[in-house]
Amino acid sequence: MVSARVRREVRNREIHLPPVSTYRWWARRTEAVNGSIIDAVSADKPGRMVVSDPFAGGGVIPLAAVMRGHSVYAQDLNPWAAAGLASMLALPDPEALRDGIAALTQRVLASAQAAYGTVLSDGTPGLVTHTFRVAVAPCTHCGTRQRIYPHALVTLTSRVERNLPEAFLACPNGHLFKARRDQISACPTCDRKTDPAQVYTPRRVVTCQCGEQDRLEARASATGLEWEVVLVERAGGGRRELAIPTTGERTAAAAEHAQPRMSLGTIPAGQETAVLRRHGFSRWEDLYPRRQRAMVERLLELAAGCSTDEGVVAALRLAVVGSTEMAGHLSRWDRYYLKSYESMAGHRFNFTTLPVEPNVWGTTTSGRGTTLRRLVQLVKAAEWLRQHTGGRLQVQGPLQAGAATVPALLGEDVDGHSLDRPDVLVVAGSSQRQLLPSGSVDLVLTDPPYHDDVQYGELSQPLQAWAGLAAPESGGDAVVNRATGQLVADGSYTALLASIFRESARLLREDGHLIFSYANRDPRAWAQLLEALQSAGLRAAGCTIVHSENETDHAKRNVRACTLDLLLDLVPVSSREIVKHRPELGTGAEQEFLSIVADYMLSVGELPSGWQTEFLEALSEAEFLKPQRRRARGV
């Protein structure tokens, strides 16, 4: 039953759990699983509990706890996660938020019109919703400047399910023209035959008309990439259209009227930032066309005067900063479904030679991730929170992890008087030090980083820069980063996790549990995790397997990607007897893989010396780790 709820939730998280859209995060487990765990624990602990999450990240666990009336301690190293979580749970009353949005709307309309105002092809007024640019760079052999389109088919003019043939094509010489997607056409400018199926930059290699080839990064490093406006999407009167830009639209895109002022800082070397640096981006502001930068700055400036309620202003700013994930020099256009994708899609920084700049403010017709869309979602989130929590939560923080220890979130002081405690305490900084007193937590429920799967720190840095947040502690992120060497040394990942788990176990009451979900295809990640748990003085109380991910996601189709989680239940080592619960195993390669892990997990607290060798050998034979042949197209 829980897995069925998970499947529904992961297919549209914003419908089932609206507050998660308040701020961007890259790995969220489900309320369906975590809420069920809290319900199961509370069945043995009637009344209000204290639930702690030392890897709070996307905030689903704190959200699941406050929905059920429990007190929450939430901590994360990443300042963007901590600030976002505090803002999400402290969203103001919906009516106050609507008033702030109305004020911001009135103040920004003139700026939005100046930046994006246009006329549709039928003469009616409209707005530019997306501006497409193509990378331009000279061949390193002959010096000819070349428009570097990724594909001959630039975009359809209507969504693919309408089954209409009209499209924009780019010929091999870089001329853009309107034609059909289902036939080879002659370019009206140079008469070159253009096959809509042709790929121009396979494996990021560019072929010049002189016949020589360059890698994209070689051109970027030799002369730098220029960005030429080649296409716009307009919206107005409830409809949208794609067109070659007018002179006025090109001028507006150049943003000569705009004067961006903010400096966002240098892009550091890293596992995910490497693709940016290789292609000529050196500072975070390089990811944004001038107009986009200026409009973000203008919105942040206006938001400050839209309400006397600090919570409203914080929410408005969060929506504006969130829009910057749609960086206009990185965001990719879906040429079949006519929508843009954020610059850190798929847990990676995206790079494309045909990026799309969004209208930062947005329209009611189209545009993912715009400020306007985010503001609408904020109201839905605020309404949902009031409905599910019964009123505005008292949220304290983010405090810094170096602050003084705070009182327990539940209980009375030494004189028997109740203390005024927050519903939620949010802390920013490494969870190697947590601020609650020992023995004050009923349940530690968390979702730790999955080894080297997601570089949270790197992906959040442009958002942190726009929000004016300090960079997280150096070397404190509990993920392996191969590019920087962070936590690559043998045992360092294990040692960091063990330190955090040991500190989390300190908070537990005598009958408390530490429960979390984990998924990984790398046997070494599992070995390091189990070693960390044993080193932290914990012993296994049981485990189970649950559905966790949307297997229909594009990146998971026809490959053996993780779609299941192993839920691990642990308690501090003691003489107390426990009856371990074992998972009910289903069929399939991933189930078989996790059953092997579960056998060893249930021995945590008493794993023998040298167990890792046997464990790794057993997993290495699992079918789940063997390459899966992709099905042929059309099969």
Determine, yes or no, domain membership for 183. no
Q: Work out the pLDDT band at 223, boundaries 50, 70, 90.
A: confident
Would you say the pTM of this structure is higher than 0.85?
yes
> SS3 letters for 463-485?
HHHHHCCCCCCCCCCCCCECCCC
**Phi, psi for 154 (deg, rounded to 5):** -80, -50
Q: Work out the pLDDT band at 260, boundaries 50, 70, 90.
A: confident
- The CATH code of the domain that includes 534 is 3.40.50.150
Separation between Cα atoms, residue 404 and residue 402, nearest integer Å: 7
Q: Please give the residue that has the higher pLDDT: either 390 or 370.
A: 370
End-to-end CA distance of the chain: 32
Residues 308-336 pLDDT 10s: 999 999 999 999 999 999 999 999 999 99
The tally of CA atoms less than 13 A away on the side-chain side of residue 534 is 18
Q: Which two tokens stand for residue 165?
A: 């043939």
Residues 280-312 pLDDT 10s: 999 999 999 999 999 999 999 999 999 999 999
The tally of domains found in the chain comes to 2
Same domain, 536 and 570: yes
Q: Work out the pLDDT band at 90, boundaries 50, 70, 90.
A: very high
Separation between Cα atoms, residue 178 and residue 231, nearest integer Å: 11
3-state secondary structure of 331: coil
Same domain, 9 and 83: yes
Q: Work out the pLDDT band at 485, boundaries 50, 70, 90.
A: low
DSSP 333: E
Determine, yes or no, domain membership for 185. no
Rounded average pLDDT over 342-359 = 93
DSSP 180-230: ETTS-EE-TTT--EE-TT-BSSGGGEEE-TTS-EEEHHHHHHHH--EEEEE
Same domain, 448 and 592: yes
Decide: 231 and 147 in contact? Cβ < 8 Å.
Answer: no
Domain range enclosing 69: 2-90+393-625
Residue 556's pLDDT is: 39
Q: Which amino acid is at 135?
A: A
Determine, yes or no, domain membership for 140. yes
Other CB atoms within a 10 A radius of the CB of residue 245 amount to 19
Separation between Cα atoms, residue 433 and residue 473, nearest integer Å: 13
Determine, yes or no, domain membership for 189. no
Closest by CA position to 603, among listed 592, 615, 593: 615
Q: Work out the pLDDT band at 631, boundaries 50, 70, 90.
A: very low
> % helix / strand / coil in the chain, to the nearest 5?
35, 20, 45
Other CB atoms within a 10 A radius of the CB of residue 342 amount to 21
Q: Which two tokens stand for residue 60?
A: 């689903």
Determine, yes or no, domain membership for 188. no
| CB within 8 Å of 356: residues ≥ 6 apart | 130, 131, 132, 133, 328, 331, 332, 333, 340
The pLDDT mean for the chain works out to 88
Same domain, 345 and 414: no
Q: Work out the pLDDT band at 555, boundaries 50, 70, 90.
A: very low
Q: Please give the residue that has the higher pLDDT: either 633 or 258.
A: 258
Residues 394-443 pLDDT 10s: 999 999 999 999 999 987 565 555 567 899 999 999 999 999 999 999 99
Same domain, 355 and 430: no
Other CB atoms within a 10 A radius of the CB of residue 628 amount to 12
Residue 157's pLDDT is: 97
Residue 457's pLDDT is: 86
Decide: 53 and 439 in contact? Cβ < 8 Å.
Answer: no
Q: Work out the pLDDT band at 624, boundaries 50, 70, 90.
A: confident
Same domain, 331 and 402: no
3-state secondary structure of 7: helix
The tally of CA atoms less than 13 A away on the side-chain side of residue 47 is 5
Residue environment code for 111-132, b if the CB has 16+ CB neighbours within 10 A, otherwise e = bbeebbbbebeeeeebbbbbbb
Same domain, 340 and 472: no
Determine, yes or no, domain membership for 558. yes
Q: Work out the pLDDT band at 2, boundaries 50, 70, 90.
A: low
Least reliable range by pLDDT among 11-15, 198-202, 324-328: 11-15
Residue environment code for 72-108, b if the CB has 16+ CB neighbours within 10 A, otherwise e = bbbbbbbbbbbbbbbbbbbbbbbebbbbbbebbbebb
**pLDDT at residue 569 greater than cutoff 90:** yes
Separation between Cα atoms, residue 566 and residue 260, nearest integer Å: 48
Same domain, 590 and 546: yes
**pLDDT at residue 552 greater than cutoff 90:** no
Same domain, 363 and 398: no
Determine, yes or no, domain membership for 310. no
Other CB atoms within a 10 A radius of the CB of residue 490 amount to 8
Decide: 32 and 6 in contact? Cβ < 8 Å.
Answer: yes
Same domain, 71 and 211: no
Separation between Cα atoms, residue 629 and residue 618, nearest integer Å: 23
Residue 444 pairs in a beta bridge with 52, 514
Q: Which two tokens stand for residue 34?
A: 């975590």
Same domain, 460 and 580: yes
Determine, yes or no, domain membership for 95. no
Residues 139-192 pLDDT 10s: 999 999 999 999 999 999 999 999 999 999 999 999 999 999 999 999 999 999
Same domain, 75 and 27: yes
Rounded percentage of the chain residues whose pLDDT exceeds 70: 89
